[in-house]
Amino acid sequence: MAAPNTQMKTVVYDDAIVRAFSTITVVWGIVAFLLGVIVAAQLSFWQANFGLEWLSFGRLRPLHTNAAIFAFVGNGMFAGIYYSTQRLLKTRMANDMLSWANFWGWQIVIVCAALSYPLGLTQGKEYAELIWPIDLMVVVVWVIFAVNFFWTLAIRNEKNLYVAIWFYISTIVTIAVLYIVNNLQLPTSLLHSYPIFGGVQDALVQWWYGHNAVAFFLTTPPLGLMYYFMVKAAERPVYSYRLSVVHFWSLIFLYIWAGPHHLLYTALPDWAQTLGMVFSIMLWAPSWGGMLNGLLTLRGAWDKLRTDPVIKFFVVAVTFYGMSTFEGPLLSIKSVSALGHYTDWIIGHVHGGALGWNSFMTFGILYWMVPRLYGTKLYSTKMAELHFWVGTIGILMYVVSMWVSGVSQGLFWRALDAEGFLKYPDFIEGLSNSLPMYHTRLLGGILFFLGSFLLVWNLIMTARQGKPVTVTVQVPALRPARDKASAWALMTSAPMLFMIGLIVLSVWFGAAGSMLSPVVLALLIVISVAMIISYGLQQKRWGHWYGLVERNALVFTILALLAILVGGAVEIIPTVLASNKVPLQITEQQAAANPALAEQAKWVQKPYSPLELAGRDIYISEGCYVCHSQMIRPFRHEVLRYGEYSRMGESLLDHPFQWGSKRTGLDLARVGGKYDNLWHYLHLMDPRQTSPASNMPMYKHFKTKTVDPVVVKHRMGVQQKLGVPYTDEDLALAEQRFASQAKLITDDLQAKSVTLAPNSQMTAVIAYLQRLGRGPQPVEPVVPAPAPAPVATAPVTAAVTGTTPAAAATPAAAGQ
């Protein structure tokens, strides 16, 4: 209640923008769920690709993931933030024009993505596939959203920032940092670019982004919305303010470190893998703290669970959040990752979070919010109840089938016989065994999709029986009080100096060499102990300081930014420095003088030929990385199946990296030379010709579509600027070498009664596949050297060597 002499002011909330975002959320949700059903059907029945290049799985799968994340959840996030922010800050959004620019700009981005992916226009990086012009549009729209939000903070009529606002702030600043760093790239044309990072650098930056896009786009915004809408629906205060504080700060600080757990047992340095695993396990505590804070908010209101479908959606959503955040750290343990990575278990984990946590939270918010936006009651609670049960059954069918399939795949791939060799050498046999689970996943997806139409009808009828309302409230005409402690005073206070010191030393420790690391570590320990002692002796002062921080949006934002920057800096900077030390060119003289360099030289990647580079770009545009990995882990079963395990130096020149995260098909890191050109041609034309049980799409369009060698030459020049060691001679001879290497492949196929144009995409892709795992391939016909004169030698007898002469020259079967 306002003080007697407080001047009141009238605030009219802008709910028109909320209605717009709510409506489009439902529309894009239907699209995302439909695409999910289609790609699930394609994995069960290859015919569902329809033989059309723009409807192939590799092109539609990124469209599905982006539609679900950025179109459905993204628009739902904006709707919830615009609704709750105005009410929590007791003011209208700062600028209506910016709000609508945010709305229309975001829809334009989504439409551009929907058009570009089926056309094969992609960066080839999971959850970051958008081409660079659309990336720029995303940045502009996000800046508009940020300006509008922080401007609203500045004119608020509420002194304190509620916990939901904390999560919104962390989302805005973190997504900005992640998106910009991961999408640093050098364009080659209006529709194509190469990322500035390559190989292991690109892998770490990508999964630093990919994991934390899940954290700060699919986790922190819904958590903020949970702290508002769940509290409103339950009509109970949040269970614990202190737990909210611990939940927020520990979550945003720890989450940013966990990205490397996507790269366990890869060529990423071991220290970074271990760091990602440790921080992932630590995430159990804040994640479950948040889940319990949400569920315990319902204390005294559990009776509503029987009658209110909104509460049902919220409770199951938060429960799935707890399940997903238990499963994620579990999968980050190296021994568990060894079994689960690259399998369908990961797909089940992701969809448990996406469908159970994100979708159900969004559904609950819409069911609660839309009736209030139209000044009426929900049209049918029974229909909402039915939607809840249909959706829940669909999710369980989907997730459980993927758990079963994933664990089965992991056990199948690693099974060895009594002699230590692969028990199931045929990869396709494992795929066939997974088909019943794929069919179950498809049925679960169809159920979830059909259930969403109950939501659509219910919300349409709710809107029709009411009318858009304009909410007007009287609030105290107060600006946030100018606290005695200014922003500068807060930034230079003891708690802040302690934190800045820890952050600086942490980054220094990551970048320091072996000589300085112990000294920096000692300083870190000293400052940490001093900080703990200071807090123990001055708890009230620390509490007062934090209370002031909560009222100062600028200082709060800076603190959140520092919390998320430290983890990325500690992991990325040392990895970039370490990979930059790997020599890209080692001469024979250097190798002869240094045995270590000689061993390293075996695994240093050489630049792709013009034709191979063209084939690689096509491979990326088709989304082949969503089914095929190019990273062999150091396990016996993988080495037996695929060849020598992968080293860091083998992919340093790959812009972008193509290590992959799922094996629906074989790993291709060393596929070069395993099959002849004809096999690859037949496999790409129709995979059933070589692998009858394959669910891979046909790529017949490779035969008719062509590659322009002039474009390839230009792209080589761009890669040269990125550090790929192409010489000026390589660029000058690019078109000639393109044509000569293509002729080698087409002549070989012609001899086997297959006619193929030298500049076809098929020729380029075959050249790229034949290069994988091998050094540079001939780009011109090899002229045989004259045979040396015969030299008389003593016969080699089996009695002396224990083998026949032929066997002595043959590699041991066990190692091949």
Residue 563: closest CA among 658, 496, 633: 496
The DSSP 8-state label assigned to residue 159 in this structure reads: S
d(CA 564, CA 566): 6
In the DSSP assignment, the letter for residue 661 is S
Are the CB atoms for 642 and 680 separated by under 8 Å? no
| Packing angle, helices 381-414 and 360-373, rounded to 10 | 160
Cα radius of gyration rounded to whole Å, the chain: 29
Q: Which of 573, 654, 655, 612 lies closest to 779 in space, CA to CA?
A: 612
Task: Report how far residue 610's alpha carbon sits from residue 742's, in angstroms, rounded to the nearest whole number.
Answer: 10
Task: List, in order, residues 6 or more apart from 233 with CB less than 8 Å away.
Answer: 304, 308, 310, 311, 314, 364, 368
**Can you tell me the distance from the alpha carbon of 399 to that of 346, in angstroms, rounded to the nearest whole number?**
10
Torsion angle of C-alpha atoms 204, 210, 214, 220, degrees rounded to 10: 60
The Cα–Cα gap between 774 and 776 comes to 7
The pLDDT, as a whole number, for residue 380 is 97
Instruction: Note the pLDDT of residue 801.
Output: 34
Q: What share of the chain is helix, strand, coil (3-state, %, to 5)?
A: 70, 5, 30
Distance CA 14, CA 20 (A): 11
Separation of alpha carbons 288 and 658, rounded Å: 34
Q: CB-hemisphere CA count at 13 Å for 765?
A: 27
Per DSSP, the chain holds a count of helices (H) and strands (E) of 36, 4
Residue 405: closest CA among 430, 423, 427, 426: 430
**C-alpha angle 301-306-312 in degrees, rounded to nearest 5:** 80
Secondary structure of 517-559 in HEC code, one letter for each residue: HHHHHHHHHHHHHHHHHHHHHCHHHHHHHHHHHHHCHHHHHHH
pLDDT of residue 796: 40
pLDDT in tens, 109-154: 999 999 999 999 999 999 999 999 999 999 999 999 999 999 999 9
Spans of the chain below 50 pLDDT: 482-484, 793-816
Using alpha carbons only, give the angle 50, 36, 255 rounded to the nearest 5 degrees: 140
> From the centroid of its chain, how far is CA 483?
41
Cα 569–574–576 angle (5° rounding)?
A: 95
pTM of the model: 0.91
d(CA 454, CA 387): 6
The reported pLDDT for the residue numbered 803 is 35
Residue 473 makes CB contacts below 8 A (sequence gap 6+) with 10, 11, 13, 90
Report yes or no: 363 and 390 within 8 Å, Cβ to Cβ.
Answer: no
Rounded CA-CA distance 2/96 in Å is 28
Residue pLDDT, tens place only, 602-613: 788 999 999 999
Q: Which residues of 79-95 are buried (b: 16+ CB within 10 A; e: fewer)?
A: bbbbbbbbbbbbbbbbb
